[in-house]
Chain A
Amino acid sequence: EDQVTQSPEALRLQEGESSSLNCSYTVSGLRGLFWYRQDPGKGPEFLFTLYSAGEEKEKERLKATLTKKESFLHITAPKPEDSATYLCAVQLYSGGYQKVTFGIGTKLQVIP
């Protein structure tokens, strides 16, 4: 069964303390991997799409990377406003339906 596993489940960082979030997947026929940010009580906000191993995308303090079996979201010198749940999702080749499977997310708290 296709699975997306995110780790850690929760992460508490001091402001300025860089770290990485992990998303590992056990799927075949990966069409794309997506990172979203979700604030409490709100819908997810799209951050990045990665299509192939070795690809990297950056946005402000965030950098996403992709290997054949996992993706990392690196957070450099985080600020309290980066506190949120970060979701990973994978899309597969599956006939006419472009199935997207979401992970549970990593809840990040950045302390001033």
Chain B
Amino acid sequence: EADIYQTPRYLVIGTGKKITLECSQTMGHDKMYWYQQDPGMELHLIHYSYGVNSTEKGDLSSESTVSRIRTEHFPLTLESARPSHTSQYLCASSATGREQYFGPGTRLTVT
């Protein structure tokens, strides 16, 4: 059973606010990922990390930033939220870089 947690599960916030989406895993996985998924659409990778102090941008351009100070923690921050950021954000981790274990997701709505 994968143990990966995301908070909050749902967030409604006004334009211009700064937000941080939390992701934690207890499996000791080095590799962690952030995906964005709109309804009925495929997952798009926005950030990934292969270990502490290692972060890279993914395939989908994003105005968000991430940090990886501890192995188990991989938060995603939006400095100024906009309606175009409304989406579902999924965090995942992996030991091998192959099969990934996903958290429950954060549904973000920016008004």
Chain A interface residues (CB < 8 Å from chain B): 4, 31-32, 34, 36, 41-46, 49, 87, 91, 97-100, 102-105
Other A-B pairs, 13, CB within 8 Å; known A31-B98, A46-B2 = A4-B42, A34-B99, A41-B105, A43-B90, A44-B100, A44-B102, A46-B100, A46-B102, A91-B98, A99-B59, A102-B42, A104-B42, A105-B42
A42 touches B42 (CB 8 A): no
- Residue B45 is within 8 A (CB to CB) of chain A in the complex: yes
- Residue B43 is within 8 A (CB to CB) of chain A in the complex: yes
A43 touches B104 (CB 8 A): yes
* Shortest distance from the beta carbon of A80 to any chain B beta carbon, whole Å: 22
What's the Cα separation between A34 and B2 when bound, in Å? 17
What's the Cα separation between A11 and B59 when bound, in Å? 30
What's the Cα separation between A4 and B105 when bound, in Å? 23
Considering the complex, which residues of chain B in the window 79-111 have a beta carbon less than 8 Å from any beta carbon of chain A? 90-92, 97-105, 107
